Amino acid sequence: MDAERAHHVSFSALRFLDSLPLLNRLLRLVLARGTRDEVEVLGLPFPNRVGLAAGFDKNGEGVRALSALGFGHIEVGTITAHAQPGNDRPRLFRLRENLALLNRMGFNNQGARQASFNIEAQRRALSALPGRARPIVGINIGKTKVVPGADAVEDYAASARALAPLADYLVINVSSPNTPGLRDLQSVASLEPIVSAVKATAAEVVENPRSTLGHVPLLVKIAPDLNDEDVIEICRLAVRLGVDGLITTNTTIDRDVLNGEEAEFARSQSGGISGRPLAARSLEVLRLVKATVGNELTVISVGGIADARDVRARLAAGADLVQVYSEMIYSGPFWPGRVIRGTKAHGLLAAQR
């Protein structure tokens, strides 16, 4: 089956099962068993340290269903101020030999206004669950494709205006390779006014944030393809502007991370690569960020995580939280719970020693 169609079918099936009162309880009993491992990060009570990265639920339509898999947080998006169809199909490919994905989706989403309705409905659905079963909800915002770079600041601010009241935390995405010119916004000169505008807008529209920080936590998601000097500059900018954290990293445009015939295929296609081949650079960027900022910023590590050992390695390298996505496509719905339980068991053994 076409990879994008398979995604829609599986996601729709999960949402349908979650809508059935008895089956949704069974889902949580089977899939989310033993995943409770509370931690406070960003002034928020995370049920555990492992979350679902942005890209799976682009419109905020299935947060409660996805929480049945055991995730401690779910990041919705990427959402743009205006609805857009994304790039032409096919735009999502499985690279099975490398256990990777190649996508050039292009921020296909229903727009910030419709997403706000979806997420509000999902928050009502989550309120019916016991408090310990409710995940933290992050919202990832990006630039609308047809909006010129010169107008990016207001575009991001418009998304923040609609979505900040529904977000436990917000993420500025300036690192996807699938929107022309987007990665140029990672430069310090371009990023600074965007961060300032989003922070000011969120403060304006959210009087009572859920975080004990006293504001809606704001993070920036960066690319693995930045050179080390640029990573350091973004870290310094984030600290100076009072950004709360960084997400390291987005997909890569580097085809050399792939092996075999799939590498040649990927060189003939545009888009970003995620999955196991991204692990080495993602970990490298995480270590660089931590060496630069220490404990001044929260760091969420994502990219190439295959099992509980990878999660433990990211936490040992300084990550506060970890996100996953691509491996779930290959390992199935039982995989998140196994990873979380494996990470939790290791922590208990370490504490006992």
Detail the residues annotated as belonging to a binding site. Answer: 54-58, 78, 103-107, 140, 173, 178, 221, 249-251, 275, 304, 325-326
DSSP 8-state assignment for residue 116: H
Q: d(Cα 82, Cα 69) in Å, to the nearest integer?
A: 30
Helix (H) or strand (E) holding 338: helix 335-352
**Is 176 noted as a catalytic residue in this protein?**
yes
Six-digit token pair at 69? 């898999």
Q: d(Cα 321, Cα 323) in Å, to the nearest integer?
A: 7
Instruction: Out of 67, 116, 176, 301, pick the active-site residue.
Output: 176
Nearest to 44 by CA among 68, 71, 72: 72
Q: How many CB atoms lie within 10 A of CB 348?
A: 10
Q: Where are the beta strands (DSSP E) in 68-120?
A: 73-79, 92-95, 100-103
Q: d(Cα 180, Cα 144) in Å, to the nearest integer?
A: 10
Six-digit token pair at 99? 């256990």
DSSP 41-76: ETTEEESSSEEEPTTSSTTSS-HHHHHTTT-SEEEE
Binding-site entries for substrate = 58, 103-107, 173, 178, 250-251
Task: Report, as residue numbers or ranges, the catalytic residues.
Answer: 176
